[in-house]
Structures are given as C-alpha cells and as structure tokens.
Structure 1
Amino acid sequence: MNTDLEFRKSSYSGGNGNCVEVADVPGFSAVRDTQHRELGTLTFDSVEWHAFLSTATTASR
C-alpha cells in the first residue's frame, strides 16, 4: 500500500483519539486506526465500503 495516501477523519470525530482515518485509493478505501498507524491499513473494495457506510448510517439512526 502506498504510504503517500491522503488520510482524513470525520469532522464528527472527537478529540479523544479513538478515531479511524480513511483514504481513497482507485477502486478501494483504506482505513487505519489513528492511535496505531504503524499497524497499517485495512482495504475495502468499493462494494464492501458502500455496504459498510450504508449499514453504519442506518444503525446510527
């Protein structure tokens, strides 16, 4: 995985450090833990990522 990815975290994230960051990669999304960046990233293809976001959004309502 390219180490030059531009990761971002949600503006809804608090300041407690318990966050994940996401970077867009062509065809994939890369996710990492803000407290343990050295552990690397998890990658999800676009279908998996959209399914996760849909479920997370529905569950938070």
Structure 2
Amino acid sequence: MNDELESAVWFKSSRSNGQADCIEVAFLTDTVATRDTKDRDRATLTFGREGWQSFIRSTVSGHFDRD
C-alpha cells in the first residue's frame, strides 16, 4: 500500500475553508486513505471500503454531531 499512497490522488472537500484545517481523502484499490492537510507527512488513517461507507453514513446521519 505504501507505493499506492505515494502515487495517490488526494481530494479535499469542496467545503474546505481554504485554510489547512481539513482532511484529504484518497481512494485506493482496496482502501480509502485520509490524512491531515496541515501535516501530510504523518501517518494516514485508512478504512476498508465497508468501514468508509459506514463512517460516511454515520457522519451524514449526525452521529458525530456535538450538541
């Protein structure tokens, strides 16, 4: 996967504020990788495809919202 990460195409949310306060996402062969925009050299967090879909569903449903 390291070779795949080195050549990955990273995407930033269109809702990014233009600062470096967001994450970037790369869709790899079997996983989805995320990294912190302001510290790109640190380790990435990777999800399996099903785990990524679960994370997105939970986010959209408001599961992680702070009240």
Aligned residue for 1:8? 11
Say yes or no: does 1:44 pair with 2:54: no
Is it true that 1:18 corresponds to 2:31 in the alignment? no
Pairwise CA distance, 1:17: 1.3
TM-score by length of 2: 0.82
Q: Which runs of 4+ in 1 moved over 4 A?
A: none
Q: Work out which structure has the larger RCO, using CA pairs closer than 8 Å and 6 or more positions apart in sequence.
A: 1
Deviation, 1:24, is: 0.5
What per-residue deviation string (whole Å, max 9, x for no partner) do you get for residues 3-45 of structure 1?
A: 1100001101112311000000112100000001110211100
Q: From the CA coordinates, give the structure whose radius of gyration is larger.
A: 2
- Normalised TM-score (structure 1): 0.89
Question: How many positions carry a matched residue from both structures?
Answer: 60
Q: Which stretch shifts more, 9-18 or 26-35?
A: 9-18
Q: How far apart are the structure 1 equivalents of 2:15 and 2:61?
A: 16
C-alpha distance in structure 1 between counterparts of 2:11 and 2:51, whole Å: 19
Percent same amino acid among aligned pairs? Answer: 33
Q: CA RMSD in A?
A: 1.2
